[in-house]
Amino acid sequence: MTMDGQWYTEEWAGQGSAISLKITRKLHDEQSPYQRIEIYDTENFGRLMTLDGLVMVTDRDNFIYHEMMSHPALFTHADPKSVLIIGGGDCGTLHEVLKHPVTEVIQVELDERVTRVAEQFFPALTASNHDARARLRFADGIAWVTEAAAGSLDVIIVDGTDPIGPAAGLFSEAFYKSCWRALRPGGILAGQSESPLFHADLICAMHGALRAAGFADVRTLPFAQCTYPSGWWSTTLAAKGTTLDRIREQATNARPFNTRYYNLAIHQSAFALPQFLRERLDGQEGAS
Amino acid sequence: MTMDGQWYTEEWAGQGSAISLKITRKLHDEQSPYQRIEIYDTENFGRLMTLDGLVMVTDRDNFIYHEMMSHPALFTHADPKSVLIIGGGDCGTLHEVLKHPVTEVIQVELDERVTRVAEQFFPALTASNHDARARLRFADGIAWVTEAAAGSLDVIIVDGTDPIGPAAGLFSEAFYKSCWRALRPGGILAGQSESPLFHADLICAMHGALRAAGFADVRTLPFAQCTYPSGWWSTTLAAKGTTLDRIREQATNARPFNTRYYNLAIHQSAFALPQFLRERLDGQEGAS
């Protein structure tokens, strides 16, 4: 390939494909105890953060991901007060969650440097970090959930990286059992669940693990996400002792804050699965 | 960037971004009277066709585009018998349309070579080219519609390339007026309408032009499309003297053919617009 200028490229592992973003300059580059953190200015996507060479967030398209990681769960729970975010170091999900009348949001991110670098370079995402309801903890999220008091949380959002390395455990039945235990009845779990096109196996395995852990209603909500592998991503919701159909419609329509992607119709329609994925999940869940 | 192997890269013009597909060999390369047509084998996307360096179709992800260009329009029209496809040279849309009990599908593609090359390298997409109901014509689609008998068509599908060069006219009010005239009452137009993320201006302009041409109900249906710019694409439907809400639900659920993306829930939910696009279109249509 011959493209003018400087480009940041992420090769989508095992998929024979890659996305490139044109960069104007590198603003930051450090090796934290956990990973390499780089920040770039791009020509058309605003700021870009990468972790170990994988796109984590851009100014331009992160709104879709962060809104879909937060609002569907928060507008499904009947009265969400206590929220736990695992991962989420760029703080974009935290920022969306704090738009709701919650009383406490604990964010447990392994790598404090991700958050500190985000505070420096992504002011819009980190604008709520000093909200009195936010508690930033830098620790292992799996251990945190394991040790959490039973029935102490309303919503758990798993905003981790790909299921390789330290984040692999975030997709395991054992972890989901800990989440189930830590949630109150009526609790909702939301976890990022990769690409419907590239990672249907993972989505199916995640459904199986969540059901085995006790969650009776499990749904995957796909959405477009330009800079993530395949440009198509998803969040998977799971409910403890409630169903995911009970969206608080009136509150959703009357939300006292702006969104750029999310609205009630988007929430409702996100449950529609592509035929290939529905057939796989129906087959699996019919058989179980 | 330094990636091993051979890659085909499409730079997304003006968007400071690009997608790359890993190729294993080039199978075909010709300059037709209209454009350069290249065919590659890729590592993970099957066959790839590009026109003037832009990804037109891959084996792996074309099903979403072709199903969304055809089935929503065909399952909305009360009884579609006569269909016109403008463009559509790879014949994937034609193949989907012919799954319906239509009596005639005329496809008017400017460049016969695109179709002949597709017949050679994309047997699944071109499998219905010899269906007795299919009429392949190689001519200018805009002129064809202008000269079509008034009230002679049920569905017009505009499966053209980007709105630059010869395809620019496919997004004009004058062209939509010709389509309106050629459609019978109850007729449906479906046109590819680019990326919600990259081309919201175009989508808004297209709504304005379609309404000005006489279509009272105009809706954009977004969908994921990995290898098109931003990984997010759309089709825009417009109805002549009917509404787009009247999906033939029973026929959709009882369809006697397989789909991989489309189903009734996908069709219904595709009307949900991201908040940023809804606000723009509501503002525009409220003001008009």
Q: Give the pLDDT of residue A167.
A: 80
CATH number at residue B38: 2.30.140.10
pLDDT tens digits along B35-47 = 999 999 999 999 9
Query: What are the catalytic residues of A?
Result: 159
Judgement on whether residues B164 and B71 belong to the same structural domain of the protein: yes
- pLDDT of B1 strictly over 80: no
Share of chain B above pLDDT 90, in %: 93
Please indicate whether residue B28 or residue A164 has the higher confidence score (pLDDT): B28
Which residues on chain B are in Cβ contact (under 8 Å) with A44? Answer: 14-17
Q: Give the pLDDT of residue A5.
A: 83
Contact criterion met (CB < 8 Å) for B224 and A197: yes
In a domain, B255, yes or no: no
Can you tell me the distance from the alpha carbon of A74 to that of A190, in angstroms, rounded to the nearest whole number?
10
Can you give the length of chain A in residues? 288
ipTM of the complex: 0.96
DSSP structure class, residue B52: T
Give the pLDDT mean for A248-254.
98
Size of interface A-B (CB pairs under 8 A): 148
pLDDT tens digits along B261-271 = 999 999 999 99
Share of chain A above pLDDT 90, in %: 93
In a domain, B174, yes or no: yes
Chain B nearest CA to A70, separation (Å): 15
Chain A nearest CA to B268, separation (Å): 8
pLDDT category at B4 given cuts 50, 70, 90 is: confident
Judgement on whether residues B246 and B134 belong to the same structural domain of the protein: yes
Phi and psi at residue B131, in whole multiples of 5°?
Answer: -55, 135
Optimal mutation site among B63, B195, B226, B245, interface A, most CBs of chain A within 10 A:
B226
Phi-psi domain of B25 (left: phi exceeds 0; alpha: psi -120 through 50; beta: other) = beta
Contact criterion met (CB < 8 Å) for B18 and A20: yes
Nearest CA in chain A to B42: A16
pLDDT category at A135 given cuts 50, 70, 90 is: very high
* Residue B4, burial from CB neighbour count under 10 angstroms (0-12, 13-18, 19+): exposed
Nearest CA in chain B to A269: B269
CA atoms within 13 A on the CB side of A144: 19
pLDDT category at A189 given cuts 50, 70, 90 is: very high
Give the pLDDT mean for A35-63.
97
CATH number at residue A170: 3.40.50.150
Phi and psi at residue B142, in whole multiples of 5°?
Answer: -65, -45
pLDDT category at B188 given cuts 50, 70, 90 is: very high
Can you give the length of chain B in residues? 288
Can you tell me the distance from the alpha carbon of B21 to that of A12, in angstroms, rounded to the nearest whole number?
10
Share of chain A above pLDDT 70, in %: 99
Q: Give the pLDDT of residue A119.
A: 98
pLDDT tens digits along B36-93 = 999 999 999 999 999 999 999 999 999 999 999 999 999 999 999 999 999 999 999 9
pLDDT category at A285 given cuts 50, 70, 90 is: confident
* Residue A152, burial from CB neighbour count under 10 angstroms (0-12, 13-18, 19+): middle
Q: Give the pLDDT of residue A287.
A: 54
Q: Which amino acid is at B17?
A: S
Phi and psi at residue B68, in whole multiples of 5°?
Answer: -80, -20
Which residues on chain B are in Cβ contact (under 8 Å) with A275? Answer: 259-263, 266
Which residues on chain B are in Cβ contact (under 8 Å) with A197? Answer: 60-61, 224, 226
Judgement on whether residues B12 and B125 belong to the same structural domain of the protein: no
Listed residue (B192, B189, B194, B246) closest to B214, CA to CA:
B189
Q: Give the pLDDT of residue B26.
A: 97
Nearest CA in chain B to A41: B16
User: Do the Cβ atoms of A12 and A199 come closer than 8 Å?
Assistant: no
Nearest CA in chain B to A263: B275
Provide the token pair at B70.
């055809």
Judgement on whether residues B138 and B218 belong to the same structural domain of the protein: yes
In a domain, B1, yes or no: no
CB burial of A241-258 (b: ≥16 within 10 Å; e: otherwise) equals ebebeeebeeebeebeee
Optimal mutation site among B4, B275, B280, B281, interface A, most CBs of chain A within 10 A:
B275
E-strand ranges in chain B read 6-12, 17-31, 36-42, 47-51, 54-58, 82-87, 104-109, 134-138, 153-159, 183-192, 217-224, 232-239
Crossing angle of helices A275-287 and A200-212, in 10° steps, is 30
Give the pLDDT mean for A65-72.
98
Nearest CA in chain B to A21: B17
Contact criterion met (CB < 8 Å) for A266 and B272: yes
In a domain, B243, yes or no: yes
A45, A224, A265: residue with CB nearest B224: A224
In a domain, B91, yes or no: yes
Provide the token pair at A219.
């749904």
Distances (CA, A) of B151 to A55, A274, B177, B209, B253: 51, 35, 12, 20, 29
Judgement on whether residues A237 and A97 belong to the same structural domain of the protein: yes
- pLDDT of A166 strictly over 80: no
Total domains in the fold of chain A = 2
Contact criterion met (CB < 8 Å) for B11 and A3: yes
Which residues on chain A are in Cβ contact (under 8 Å) with B276? Answer: 260-261
Q: Give the pLDDT of residue B287.
A: 54
User: Do the Cβ atoms of B21 and B45 come closer than 8 Å?
Assistant: yes
Residue ending a domain, among B42, B58, B74, is B58
Phi and psi at residue A132, in whole multiples of 5°?
Answer: -65, -20
- pLDDT of B288 strictly over 60: no
Residue ending a domain, among B41, B58, B75, is B58
User: Do the Cβ atoms of B146 and B73 come closer than 8 Å?
Assistant: no
Provide the CA A36 distance to its chain's centre, in angstroms. 20
Give the pLDDT mean for B244-259.
97
Which residues on chain B are in Cβ contact (under 8 Å) with A8? Answer: 1
Can you tell me the distance from the alpha carbon of B81 to that of B84, in angstroms, rounded to the nearest whole number?
10
Judgement on whether residues B218 and B235 belong to the same structural domain of the protein: yes
Judgement on whether residues A45 and A67 belong to the same structural domain of the protein: no
For chain B, what is the mean pLDDT?
96
- pLDDT of B166 strictly over 90: no
pTM of the model: 0.97
Can you tell me the distance from the alpha carbon of A80 to that of A27, in angstroms, rounded to the nearest whole number?
38
In a domain, B149, yes or no: yes
In a domain, B160, yes or no: yes
Provide the pairing of β-strand B183-192 with B232-239.
Answer: antiparallel
Give the count of beta carbons closer than 10 Å to the beta carbon of residue B158.
26
Judgement on whether residues B14 and B152 belong to the same structural domain of the protein: no
Q: Give the pLDDT of residue B5.
A: 83
Give the count of beta carbons closer than 10 Å to the beta carbon of residue A167.
18
Judgement on whether residues B42 and B68 belong to the same structural domain of the protein: no
Residue labelled with tokens 């590659």: B40
Contact criterion met (CB < 8 Å) for B22 and A16: yes
Give the pLDDT mean for A178-188.
98
A20, A197, A259: residue with CB nearest B20: A20
Judgement on whether residues B66 and B49 belong to the same structural domain of the protein: no
Judgement on whether residues A14 and A131 belong to the same structural domain of the protein: no
Q: Show the domain range for B25.
A: 6-58
Q: Give the pLDDT of residue B168.
A: 85
Q: Give the pLDDT of residue B202.
A: 96
Chain A nearest CA to B257, separation (Å): 12
In a domain, B198, yes or no: yes
Give the pLDDT mean for B184-199.
98
Judgement on whether residues A193 and A68 belong to the same structural domain of the protein: yes
Listed residue (A148, A61, A94) closest to B197, CA to CA:
A61
User: Do the Cβ atoms of A110 and A138 come closer than 8 Å?
Assistant: yes
Distances (CA, A) of A259 to A228, B128, B172, B280: 20, 45, 32, 13
